[in-house]
Structure 1
């Protein structure tokens, strides 16, 4: 690896960690509001500022002047539905579970996406990566622990959220290269805002005090920061090198969950999270190894 490549990979790793930190800080702000505001009101208010910031970034990048190919509109529509479903189920789980537990379950996403792509799109998947996925899913079972006292309905909500995020990511992977990602992100943010805005009409609104307003602003800025850093990551360093650093989100969740809410996962949950992360890193390492060797990814 050349010095320039090392520097780019180092920058990419820092940006990925910054992205994960931003998204986890958003989750922290949102969870801190769980006892103050109804979910639909919270997501609508956060969505107003987030959509404005994302729209500004999309405009600066020239994405708003481009068009989505007609053949991609169905995928974009499915992606919007998936994002709305993911937001509802993930945040409902977040309101009722420790931050680190929900985040640990979400770390299974790369495993589930890879397995789903193999089943639905016949993407190649070798026995090593399949074994890593199955081991990682066993780690998820240790986190959720069905049939035990620690198992709740909200654990199922977190798993449903993983399903919706998987649907979102699979739709994203099938989009044409001509479709601008920032335009899709802007439309998604706007759809979430509109959906939860309409839903909030049914609920009684709660007046905002200064503290709640600041938390909403903080959550909006962190979501925008997460999107921004994610875009910057794609332009710096090797994706295969940078991607494993997404698991630093779990470290942030552990630290913030303990510092802000006084939560610390049970040892069995930590063991399950370690299995999920280890399986994900091995799978990414295997993909990188095969791609560098010029072999089929599923070998």
Structure 2
């Protein structure tokens, strides 16, 4: 029997991206399942504590630990602050709105990163991608449904999470390459744990944790770590323009998990908003790929300085 052909780099990237999105989505579902039993800060602390133990062990194993003073670097400190803000806003929203709605709004993140890169990093963005960004945010408004039922504080909290996550991703681009990704994850996880611990008292105090809820958070911690590592492997194996659109597989997971475990049935507005957001995001990835290919072709022309 002939040996199976090795997987291409892009196929490996797609597999890792799909695994990452599955991990993140199941983490969200497990976190949502305990929001009625404990507050956001307590969830951040318990999940962060377990995640920190796992990621510190990994970082030690791979020699990725560095002096803690690196966290004082302004861009890294801002990234950690943004990650804390994203965790606070997203976890607080999960218990109040359907899982698929939260995931749909979060899909505006690539558009927000493109917008931020244009405004703050000076990256060129043509009019077509500007239009895609505008259309994508219209899709977010469709999901939000401005009015008494849709435009809720919880939904706005997810929008705030998108802003924080965009700041996080933009800061990541500016972090020195010699700082290991695992060490960044260690710092972020430890700070989130400490912030969660500090906020438990002001946000209602400690609540008893049953064994089932603790098991859910342990599973969430493991899945979160799997998601982080798989997304790094996805970006390092495949071409970003080919792999990145598979982020949207998280919507399939979120809709399915919401339907099965929380009896959340998507309505026509949510489905319409998802289609608009995904369509604009895919077009943005397409234009980015076209721009990158054109740049490569230009530098490869005879007589072009290398």
TM-score, with length taken from structure 2: 0.90
Shift of 1:99: 0.3
Shift of 1:147: 2.7
1:265-286 Cα distance to aligned partner (Å, 9 max, x none): 2101111111101111111111
Deviations 1:20-58 (A, max 9, x none): 000110000000001111221121011111011111222
Gaps of at least 5 residues in structure 1 are none
1:194 equivalenced with 2:199 (yes/no): no
* Distance in 2 between residues matched to 1:42 and 1:67, nearest whole Å: 25
Cα 1:277–1:192 shift into 2, 3 Å: same
**Number of matched residues?**
294
Could you give the per-residue CA deviations for residues 52-97 of structure 1, whole angstroms, max 9, x where no partner exists? 1111222222210478869x71111111111111111111111100
The offset of 1:158, in angstroms, is 1.1
Alignment root-mean-square deviation, CA:
2.1
* Residues 235, 243 of structure 2: 8 Å contact kept: no
Give the SS at the match of 2:65: helix
Q: Aligned pair 1:183/2:191, yes or no?
A: no
Query: 2:264 is paired with a residue of what secondary structure?
Result: coil
Match of 1:122 in 2: 122
1:92 is aligned to 92
Distance 1:218 1:21 in 2: 13
Q: SS of the residue aligned with 1:235?
A: helix
> Which residue in the other structure is 2:300 paired with?
none
- Counterparts of 1:102-117 in structure 2, within 5 Å, are 102-117=102-117
Flag the 1:116–1:230 CA change in 2: closer, same or farther, 3 A. Answer: same
Relative distance call for 1:75 and 1:88 in structure 2 (3 A) is same
2:87 counterpart SS class: helix
Please give the alpha-carbon distance, in whole angstroms, between the structure 2 residues aligned to 1:63 and 1:146: 46
Residue by residue over 1:224-275, the C-alpha shift from the partner in whole angstroms, topping out at 9 and shown as x without a partner, is: 1111212221331222211111111111101101011000221011111111
CA distance, structure 2, for counterparts of residue 254 and residue 278 of structure 1 = 18
2:2 is equivalent to residue 19 of structure 1: no
In structure 1, what is the Cα distance between the partners aligned to 2:217 and 2:296? 48
- d(CA) in 2 for partners of 1:148 and 1:249? 28
Q: Flag as ranges the 4+ runs of structure 1 deviating above 3 A.
A: 3-6, 65-70
